Chain A
Amino acid sequence: MAADLVLDTAIRDWVLIPLSVVMVLIGVLRYFVSKLMRSNQVPDAKIIKEGQLIIRARNLRAAANFIPPKSFRARRFYFSNEENGLLIVPKGQVQNAQAQMFSDPNMAMDMMKKNLSMIIPQTLTFAWVNFFFSGFVAAKIPFPLTQRFRSMLQNGIDLSTVDVSYVSSRSWYFLNLFGLRGLFSLILGEENAMDDTQRMMQMSGFGFDPSKSLGAEKDSLDIVQHDWALPKFEHRAEAVLKKLAI
């Protein structure tokens, strides 16, 4: 067991606290920059139409048990019959969307902007931390760890005799990078950075092949087991009223 290190208070004042504060501020800055750079492109009418169609089909699927069997069958026929159902995509148009996606430079530009607004601040902060704060023992985590964590927590200092629970400044940067996500979601509201990546994934998934999602929705609509719920609701209402009466 190595003896306890004595850390200078100047390290606290000039490394630990500035590093954490800068990480928070850069997170806030990145949020607002990405908000400014987000261009609101005019959505394609066809894509919107297909999206709404999928939502309608999904609503039908979710609320299927609240309508009589006959109405459900009629609605399902409307959506997924083989001749002119709304969810049936003609075979010829399938690769059309993909080709359109590749030919549209706006979308690629938008995606690149988003990626850049993620990557550039991170590289810059990392370079900044490396330049100013390399080689400090900045912190000590309050629980013991095994030797395996040495490369993770003492990145940047090559001392094999120091206890593993001491953290180098570069690794403190990484800890901040991952641990502050929760704080950002609190101070920035719903649309934090994590949401941004999710939305990006969603958008690329959506723009990729809408006909595929239409087909998937049709399949799941086809296998819905219809079971009318309303007759059973009399029992439920009886139970509720009895409970109220007592």
Chain B
Amino acid sequence: MGGHNDSSASEKKLSEAANVVPTLNAENLQSNMKVIYYSRTFMSIIGGVIAGILGFTGLTGFIFYFLVMAVTSVGLIAKAGFTVHSYFDSWNQIILDGFLGGLLSFVLFWTFAYDIVHIF
């Protein structure tokens, strides 16, 4: 128990030290951001096609988009080994980045697949 306390304290100290000095290489950070952007775009396109084929309409489709984005975030965090601060500045970047940009692609491919499968 004491050991556990100690480790959590030292962890806290560690994260504090990491917060005080930005030790991230700017170029690597940018490349990480690019990876996030790519995976989000890819997931929104694939998610749009799936939503269209399954025939979601209205609010269901947008909820599906939120689900897909949440799954992407969890996947990215798992890929980062659950230590986000060693790859990114903050949690916002991994969770919120590219959210609205993907929405447009999602709507387009959703509409496309939905029309081809269900409307005609």
Contact = CB atoms under 8 A, between A and B. Distances in A.
Interface of A: 7-9, 11-12, 16-17, 20, 62, 65, 139-144, 167, 175-176, 178-183, 185-186, 190, 229, 232-233, 235-236, 238-240, 242-243, 246
Nearest to B38: A186
Contact of B115 (A139, A182, A183, A243): A139
Contact of A143 (B7, B26, B59, B109): B59
Contacts of A16: 112, 115-116
Contacts of A17: 116
A139 B41 contact: no
B3 A182 contact: no
The binding surface of chain B is classed by DSSP as helix
Contacts of A11: 120
Contact of A242 (B6, B44, B55, B116): B6
Contact of B111 (A175, A182, A185, A186): A175
B52 A142 contact: yes
A178 B100 CA distance: 13
Chain B interface extent, by class: 35 or more
Contact of B56 (A142, A144, A167, A239): A142
A16 B108 CA distance: 12
B79 to A, nearest CB: 18
A191 B19 CA distance: 33
B118 to A, nearest CB: 8
B42 interface: yes
The binding surface of chain A is classed by DSSP as helix
Contact of A180 (B11, B18, B108): B108
B3 to A, nearest CB: 6
A142 B57 CA distance: 5
Interface centre among B17, B101, B107, B116 (most CB of A within 10 A): B17
A233 B84 CA distance: 21
A179 B105 contact: yes
Interface string B96-111: 0000011011011111
Given A16-B116, A239-B11, A239-B14, A229 B56 contact: no
23 contacts: A9-B120, A12-B115, A12-B116, A12-B120, A20-B112, A139-B112, A140-B114, A141-B111, A142-B57, A175-B108, A182-B44, A182-B45, A182-B102, A182-B104, A183-B41, A183-B45, A186-B41, A190-B34, A232-B17, A236-B17, A242-B10, A246-B3, A246-B7
A142 B58 contact: yes
Given A139-B119, A143-B59, A182 B105 contact: yes
